[in-house]
Amino acid sequence: MFFNRKENDITPKAIPAKVSSFLTRASRFEGNITTEDSIEINGDFIGNIESEKEVIVGEFGSVIGNIKAERVATEGKISGKIICNTFKGDKKSFTKDNIEAISITIMGKFDGIIKCDELFVQEDGLVKKIVQAKNVEVSGQIEGDIACETLSTTMHAKIKGRLFVNKLLNNGGTIDGNIGKYQDILNPKEQKQEITTLEKELVES
């Protein structure tokens, strides 16, 4: 297994795990993991993870690769595509690339594309690039395009970008951008050029 590995230890093999597993701090693993149980990452992991339960990335954990699980919770760094039912990024977390989930809570930083039913951006949270959701509640910051049925903000919210919403409930937040009718901005056939242009603008800004 991959318990108690020494620093800089690399095992380039796929591991089919049937019990709870974890990667300790200052450890390193390269390969893929498939498990029926939960897994906790506190070291450096390079590869894909698939769990039928929960993937936890600790404060000192780092994952470069895709994750598919029932739940994903992170205090560390993740760079890759995430598919899950519920995602929670803590205050110290940084997540990059794509998240597709039913419910997403961001208390740290996210840079990429979000697709979900419910998005909650907490007071210290920062989301950049593109959000496609049914309902979005913002107490923190979003920079980029937002497409949702209902957008709710608190007095601490700061939003900069284009909004495509059917219902806006602004409770004192700051909104800087144009507002249009809700649409699917992730549809590759109709919105490919628009999203490419937006990503270029965000990179250059």
Q: pLDDT tens for residues 45-97?
A: 999 999 999 999 999 999 999 999 999 999 999 999 999 999 999 999 999 99
pLDDT, residue 112, reads 98
Q: What pLDDT, on a 0 to 100 scale, did the predictor assign at position 195?
A: 46
pLDDT reported for residue 7? 38
- Model pLDDT, residue 187: 80
Q: Count H helices, E strands: the chain?
A: 1, 22
How far apart, in whole angstroms, are the C-alpha atoms of residue 185 and residue 42?
36
Query: Of 63, 130, 54, which Cα lies nearest the Cα of 93?
Result: 63
144-160 tens-digit pLDDT = 999 999 999 999 999 99
DSSP 97-154: EEEE-SEEEESSEEEEEEEEEEEEE-TT-EEEEEEEEEEEEESSEEEEEEEEEEEEE-
The predicted pLDDT at position 118 comes to 98
pLDDT classification of 189: cutoffs 50, 70, 90: low
What per-residue confidence (pLDDT) applies to 19?
36
Residue 44 · residue 59 · CB < 8 Å: no
Nearest partner of 107 among 95, 119, 123, judged by Cα: 123
Residue 180, Cβ neighbours under 10 Å: how many?
11
The percent helix, strand, coil of the chain (3-state, each to 5) is 10, 55, 40
Band of residue 22 on the pLDDT scale cut at 50, 70, 90: confident
Least confident of 32-41, 137-146, 151-160: 32-41
Is the model's pLDDT at 24 over the cut of 60?
A: yes
Per-residue pLDDT at 141 exceeds 50: yes
Nearest to 71 by CA among 20, 48, 37: 37
Domain-by-domain residue ranges, the chain?
1-101, 108-205
- The model's pTM is 0.83
Q: d(Cα 80, Cα 158) in Å, to the nearest integer?
A: 26
